[in-house]
Structure 1
C-alpha cells in the first residue's frame, strides 16, 4: 500500500569499536537505545518497522511528530549512559507491505541520516517546509549536499531546538561527494562618490559573471541569487551554504573621471581564507582588458579540478566606453523587471548601439526586452516579436556566440510563431554557449510541457533552481511547472518558498491558489484569489482567479460580476488584451461557446500565451472537443 509518511532513521555511532573495548557497556547502551526509541516513537504516534545492527527505521504520519520524536530521543540519550546517535528524517511516498518499506524516500532518509553527527537531527527540505512555522521547533540550514545514488543535490537542515548538536559544514564534508568548482560572484560594491555609479559596479559584476559561466567545468550561481546579498554583511560561509558553492568572488569598484579601481578577492567558503586578491588601477578605456584579466586569474585559481587549461574566450564587441556605460545602465533597469523599467532599459541599450553600431550584446538585450514585453502582454505581440527577430538577428550577425540572442528568438518561436523545433534548437544553442543563461530554462520547461513531456519539464526547472536558488522568478516557474505536472503539493510548497522571499509577489499567491484549488478546495483558493485582487489596488484587475473559483463553487453571480468588470476594463484600456482571463471564467461556468470564442481571439492575437495556459490541468476537458483539435497548437 502506497502512502505518504515521514521516515526516521536512527543509527548508534561507535558501537562496533565499543564492543571490542567493553562488550558489557556496548550491550547496556544498545538496550538503553532500544528502550528510549520504543517509548519515544510510541508517544509520538510512530511505528518502528525494523531494527538493523545498531540502527532502526521508523515511520510517522506527521513530519512534525517525527521531528518532535527525534528531539525527545536525543534529549533522553544525553543522560548516562550517554548514547551517541545520529538521526535523519525525510518525507516521501513509499510502499509499506509485509513489515517492509520501499521507495526513493527511504534511500534519501538513510543518506540524510548518514550526514548527521552524534547528538544531531538532520531533516530534508520537505520536512523543513512542514515544521518551519512551528514556534517550538527551530532549525539551521546546512546547505546542499550531493548524495550517493541521488541525482540532484539535496538541501539539508539541522534541528536546533532543545540544544541539539549542530555541526559545522566542515565536520560533515568528509561524508559526501563535494561540489567542485562552484562559484558565486557577489555584487561588487560601488565605492564611488557618485551613487549614480551603482549601475557601473553592478555591470562589472554582471560582465565577470557572464565571462565565468563560459568556463567548462565551472558552475557559476546565477545573478539573481547572488544579488540577494547585495548591500548585506552576511558571513561568507553562510552565503556559500545558501548558494551551494565552495568559492566566492567579491570586490569593489571605485570610478573617478576616466580612472577606475577594481578590487577583487576570491575566497574559500569553508574557512573564509582568501585564495587570491588583487587591486587594478586602470584607465577606463582598459576596462575590457581588466575584466578579461580578472576572469582568467579566477579561472586559473579554480583550474585544479578542470580537465584542461583554457582561456575564457570572452569576447567583447564594444569598443566605445560611453556605449559600454549606457549598456551597463540598461542592465541596471532590465534587472528591475517592471514594465516601466524595461522600457527605460530599451532607451539605454538603444543609446549604446547608437554610440557603437557594432555592439552585439546591446542588440541582443533589446531583443530580450521586447520578447519579455510581448510575452507578458505589455506590448502587441505582433509588433514586439517582429522587433525581437530584428534585433536578435543584428546581434547574431555580429557575434553568433551571444546566448541572449538565441533566447530572445526562442521566445518568439515559442509564444508567437509556434515553431517547436526552432524553439528547441535555439534554446539548446543558448545553453551550450552559456549554461548559466538562466532565462533559457523556463522557456525550455514550457517547451517540454507543450510536447507532453511534463517530467522532463520538471527536471529542467529543478536544475535551473540549483543554478539560481534564490531567484523568485525561477522558483515561481518551477512551481508553475509542478502544476502542469499535477504535483500540487510540490507547487504549494514552492509558492510558500517564494512568498518567504517576496510576500507581495502576486503571481506566487496565484500559484498557491491554483494548487489548492486543483486539489479540490476552491473555497480556500477563492480567499487567496480575493487577496490577489486586493493587492492589485485596482477594482478591475486581478479578477480571473476570483471568477474561476466562484464559478467552481456555484457562485454564478459573483463570477458574472467579475466578467462585467473585466469587460469594463477592456473598454477603458483598449490596448490591454485579457482574452485568456475570459477563457478561464467562461470555462468554469460551463459555457463552451463563449470559451472557444475567446480561445480563438487568443489564437488570432497570439496572446496569453494561449498555447501554454491551455495545458493547465483544469482545461483537460477541452481536449475532447473537436474545436480544440482544430486549433493547430501543440496538444501536449
Structure 2
C-alpha cells in the first residue's frame, strides 16, 4: 500500500481514499485516487494517457472523455485552477504530470511503496510518455470565458414530463468482459426506454460521460437535465449474474424502488426488458413495453455478442486506430452470426468514419457500407439506425434528396433517435436551412447533452444566424463542458475574430493548434482564415492551397481566394480560373456565387447578375448567413446595386430582403465591422448618405484589417462620388 504523501497543501491518504487540507478531509472516488497515485509515482515526469488507462482502468476500453472528466473533478477537489494549474499539468498531445512536488509526511523525497523504493513499471511509463497521443488536450481558456454551467440554457425538453438517465452500472468482478456485458445491458435498457412516449431518455454517450466521477445525485441530474436516475451494479459468480438496480427521484434523492435480479448469462436479454418495464410502471404506468417497444436483436449464445460489445467500446474512442480495431471485432461478430443486423450497421457506420478520415477510398467505403446496410435491412426492415446510416452515406456522396428521405424514415420509426436528428440537422445546415437545422440539433442535444459535435453544431448554427449573444454563450458552454474538444475553441476563435477581439482569437487558435494534427483540414482552413484577417495574405494563400479541391471547391475557399485576388488587383486572373472550374463543375453553386461576386467587383453587373440569378431563387441561398456578411460581403447588396444600375424594379425587393436580414441579427453588444460596411451600403442605396458616412467612419471599421474593401467596393465608390 502506498504511504501518505503531500501535494502542496494537500495531504493524501491512499489507504483511506481521502485528501486533507488541514481543515477538512474529502473522500475521493477509487478511480480518482488511483489516478492521483499513478501521477505521484512518476515523480514529476509525464505519464501518458494510455498508461493511465492501463493502470487505472486495467484492460478496459474506456472513451477519452472519461479521463478528461476525472482529471477535471480531481482538479476541482484539489482547488487547482485549470487556467493556472499548480498541481496537475496537461502536457498537450502527451499526457499529464504533477507540478507540485509529492513529499512524504516527515521529509522531502520520493514516494515509496512499502516493499520497494521505486515502482518497477516506471520505466515503461516514461517510454509511453514520449508518444504523441492525438486528443490529449490542454485544459485552459480565458478567464473572461469562464462561465457557470447551466443546463437550463440548452433545455428543450418538456420538464413536466419525466426524464431519466441510465448511469453505467458498477461492476464488482475482475473480468473485463463483465464490464462490457454490463455496459451492453445499460445500452439495451436505454433503447427500451426511448420507445415510451413522453419519457425523455438521455443518450448513452452523455450518461456514460460521468463514469467514475463520484458526482452526487443532484450534480449528475443537473448536468444531464433529468429528474430521475437509474443506477445499478453487477456481480458475477461463475455463470450467475447478480444485478442490483435502483430508481432514484432526483428532487428529494429518494429511492422509488430497488430490485435485485439473479440470472444466468443467457437470460440477460429478457432481464433488460424486465428492468425497463419496472421503470415504466413507476414513471408512465399507462404504457407497456410489450405494446410500444421491442428488443433489439443480439445473439443469445456464443461469442458474437461479446465481439459486438468490445467493438462498440473501441469505436467509442473515435480515433482511426481504435475504429480499425473495432471493425475487426464487428467482422468477427458477423462471421459467427451472419444475420447480426446491429453488427452490420456498426461495420457500415465505422467504415464511413474511416472514409471521412480519408483512410478508405470512396468506392470501397460506399460499396462496403451499402452492403452492410442492405444486409441489416434484410434482417430487420424497420430498423431506424439502418436508415440513419443510409442517410449519412448519401450525405457523404452529395445525394441530398435520398439522404433526407432516409432520415425522415428513421425519425418516423424512432422520433427520439439523436443520431438521425443530428445528421438530418447537418444535411439541412449544408443546404443553408439553418433555422430548421437548429431545431433538429436542439432535439439531438436534449437527448444527448454531452455530445461534443452536437454542442458545437448548436453554437455554430446560432452564429451563422447572427444570434451572437446566444452563440457566444453556447460556445462558452461547450468549452466549459468539454474543454478538450477543439471544434468549440475554433468556433469561439471565429466569433472573436469577426467581433474584433484579437487576443481571445489568438488564445483559442493556439489552443486548437496544440491538439489537432498539423495536416488536419479544419485546422488548416482556420489558419488560412486567421492569416487573411491579420493581413498576411501570402501565408493565407499557402494554407488554403493545402486544402485539396473537392468537386470544384467550397464557398469559403472561393471567397477567401476572391478577396486575396481583389486585394492584389488580380481579379482578371482569378475570373479565368473560376470560369474554367465552373465548366468542369457546372453543378457547383458556390462557383456561381463566386463568379457573381467577382464580376460585381469587376464592375460587370450584367455578368454578375447572370451568375447570381442562376443560384439565388426567392433569396433562399445564403439568406441570413452572418458568417458571409462578417467578411463585409452581401450578395443581396451587390445584386441590389446592379439592379439599380439597370433600372430594374428588383432593386427594392433586394433592399427589403437585405434590411430584413440585418434586422434579424443580434449585434448590439459586439463590434462587427463587416456588418457595418454592409449597413453603410444599404444606407447609400436607400439615399441616406449622412447615416452611411457615420458607419464608414466608425472606429471598428477604421481599425478593421479589411477596411481596404471600402475603396474596392463599386457601390460605395459610385454612390459617394
- TM-score, length-normalised on structure 2? 0.56
Match of 2:254 in 1: 273
Is 1:403–1:434's contact at 8 Å kept on the other side of the alignment? yes
2:233 is paired with a residue whose SS is strand
The 1-side partners of 2:147 and 2:508 are apart by 28
Match of 1:546 in 2: 527
The 2-side partners of 1:252 and 1:594 are apart by 68
Match of 1:589 in 2: 564
**Greater relative CO (CA pairs within 8 A, separation 6+):** 2
For structure 2, the 5+ residue unaligned runs are: 1-141, 566-570, 600-607, 623-721
CA deviations 1:53-76 (Å, max 9, x no partner) are xxxxxxxxxxxxxxxxxxxxxxxx
Q: Give the CA deviation at 1:342.
A: 1.8
Match of 1:475 in 2: 455
Is 1:488–1:516's contact at 8 Å kept on the other side of the alignment? no
Distance verdict in 2 for CA 1:523–1:202, change over 3 Å: same
1:260 to 220, 238, 241: 241
Distance verdict in 2 for CA 1:593–1:407, change over 3 Å: farther
The 2-side partners of 1:279 and 1:594 are apart by 74
Asked if 1:230 is matched to 2:234, the reply is no
1:543 is paired with a residue whose SS is helix
Distance verdict in 2 for CA 1:287–1:583, change over 3 Å: farther
2:436 to 435, 456, 473: 456
Asked if 1:285 is matched to 2:266, the reply is yes
Q: Give the CA deviation at 1:465.
A: 1.8
Q: Give the CA deviation at 1:525.
A: 3.6
Q: Give the CA deviation at 1:597.
A: 9.1
Q: Give the CA deviation at 1:428.
A: 2.0
Q: Give the CA deviation at 1:325.
A: 0.8
Match of 1:428 in 2: 408
Distance verdict in 2 for CA 1:562–1:145, change over 3 Å: closer
Match of 1:92 in 2: none
Q: Give the CA deviation at 1:232.
A: 1.9
CA deviations 1:157-206 (Å, max 9, x no partner) are xxxxxxxxxxxxxxxxxxxx853221111111222212454322222211
Equivalences for 1:471-620 in 2 at 5 Å? 471-519=451-499, 525=505, 528-536=508-516, 538=518, 542-563=523-544, 566=546, 585-590=560-565, 592=574, 596=578
- TM-score, length-normalised on structure 1? 0.63
The 2-side partners of 1:322 and 1:601 are apart by 55
Q: Give the CA deviation at 1:625.
A: 8.2
Match of 2:388 in 1: 407
Q: Give the CA deviation at 1:209.
A: 0.9
2:303 is paired with a residue whose SS is helix
Equivalences for 1:347-386 in 2 at 5 Å? 347-386=328-367
The 1-side partners of 2:317 and 2:576 are apart by 38
For structure 1, the 5+ residue unaligned runs are: 1-131, 154-176
Distance verdict in 2 for CA 1:371–1:621, change over 3 Å: farther
2:466 is paired with a residue whose SS is coil
CA deviations 1:496-534 (Å, max 9, x no partner) are 211112323221111112223344667854564344334
Distance verdict in 2 for CA 1:247–1:618, change over 3 Å: farther
Is 1:184–1:220's contact at 8 Å kept on the other side of the alignment? yes
Task: Report which stretch shifted further, 293-302 or 406-415.
Answer: 293-302
Match of 1:202 in 2: 183
Distance verdict in 2 for CA 1:598–1:556, change over 3 Å: farther
Match of 1:121 in 2: none
Distance verdict in 2 for CA 1:557–1:315, change over 3 Å: closer
Equivalences for 1:305-384 in 2 at 5 Å? 310=291, 312-384=293-365
Query: What is the CA RMSD across the aligned residues, in angstroms?
Result: 4.1
Is 2:575–2:598's contact at 8 Å kept on the other side of the alignment? no
Q: Give the CA deviation at 1:253.
A: 2.3
Equivalences for 1:617-632 in 2 at 5 Å? 621=597
The 2-side partners of 1:307 and 1:263 are apart by 22
1:439 is paired with a residue whose SS is helix
CA deviations 1:328-370 (Å, max 9, x no partner) are 1111112222222222221111111111111111111112212
Distance verdict in 2 for CA 1:322–1:593, change over 3 Å: farther
Count of aligned residue pairs for this structure pair: 461
Task: Report which stretch shifted further, 590-599 or 316-325.
Answer: 590-599
Match of 1:184 in 2: 165
